[in-house]
Amino acid sequence: MPIHLTTRRQFLTQLGAAAVFSRADAFAAEVDENLIAILNDTHIGAQHSASASIPTNLRNTIAWLLALPKRPAAVIINGDLALKDGQRGDYEHFAKLIAPLRDAGVPLHLTMGNHDDRAVFYDVLKSEKPESPAVESKHVGVVKLAGANLFLLDSLKATMVTQGLVGEAQMAWLAKRLDQHADKPALIFAHHNPRLGGEPLHFPGGLEDSEPLWQMLAKRPQVKAYIHGHIHHRNFFAHENIHILNTPAVSYVADKKTSTTGWTMAQLGSTNGSFTTHTHLPEHEWNGVKVDLKWRT
């Protein structure tokens, strides 16, 4: 897919993020405490050349984020970090591409998808591996922001298995942490789509334990939205008044007539959230479209 960038992005790309943003300037940058960036399905491969479209998409997205007048309080890359089956070289290449965010001090949070390998991921990105896992054999976390709490799940059932699984242990952990953090809106992040509230076409590849997960979430009014990737498309749904956001892939799409690549910026509030789609093709109909979602009460 050809990449057409705005003049500002071209300028940043030509100069290079390292040249534009010194480490001192990066840490001095103002932060919007309720702004987050949502990326997913980066699919970085060891064999990708520097000029290939997939790593170029991620590189340009990161340059765009670093050029914002106010930095996001968190950047979430929601699964399928690696190209196909989580090879070591994939994560080594991925680590180099995300380095400008880390160097700039932007909080970066990663989740697992079905094309990832958790053990290899930990071996390469060693700082991601916790000394004491909150859930055995799962990569999970909680991100506390000024106006919301983000709960990051690991829906990887097995590498190269399309379907996802939360599992009883992770679900129990999530229920406990949600109860401990009921003071703010809760947004749930996982790579896989739930098998409800969306398009039945994609249900077979979604979460196998969607029903028990949703029963648990629906009982907790602080849960406002579930955000996923996996489908390489963009949709907004809801089930039992919990918003379901299918966010666009950074890497590639199956059908260029109906989808394109991009990322999402979310401005979070106590009663609502605004989600703006940005695409690598600036003329695409999704680009710059903001959807305002009211939280359930």
> pLDDT in tens for each of the 297 residues of the chain?
333 343 334 333 333 443 344 444 444 589 999 999 999 999 999 999 999 999 999 999 999 999 999 999 999 999 999 999 999 999 999 999 999 999 999 999 999 999 999 999 999 999 999 999 999 999 999 999 999 999 999 999 999 999 999 999 999 999 999 999 999 999 999 999 999 999 999 999 999 999 999 999 999 999 999 999 999 999 999 999 999 999 999 999 999 999 999 999 999 999 999 999 999 999 999 999 999 999 999
- pLDDT for 28: 58
Q: Is residue 3 part of a domain?
A: no
Which residue range forms the structural domain that includes residue 118? Answer: 35-294
How far apart CA 160 and CA 178 sit, in angstroms, is 30
Q: Is residue 78 part of a domain?
A: yes
- pLDDT for 2: 34
Q: Is residue 93 part of a domain?
A: yes
Q: Is residue 146 part of a domain?
A: yes
Q: Is residue 244 part of a domain?
A: yes
In 10 A of CB 44, how many CB atoms? 26
How far apart CA 211 and CA 223 sit, in angstroms, is 15
26 sits in which H/E element? helix 23-28
- pLDDT for 3: 36
How far apart CA 18 and CA 23 sit, in angstroms, is 8
- pLDDT for 29: 81
How far apart CA 110 and CA 42 sit, in angstroms, is 11
73 sits in which H/E element? strand 71-78
- pLDDT for 125: 98
Q: Is residue 137 part of a domain?
A: yes
Q: In total, how many domains does the chain have?
A: 1
- pLDDT for 242: 98
- The β-bridge relationship of strands 242-246 and 262-268 is unpaired
Q: What is the pTM of this model?
A: 0.92
Give the domain CATH number at 165: 3.60.21.10
Q: Is residue 279 part of a domain?
A: yes
How far apart CA 219 and CA 143 sit, in angstroms, is 21
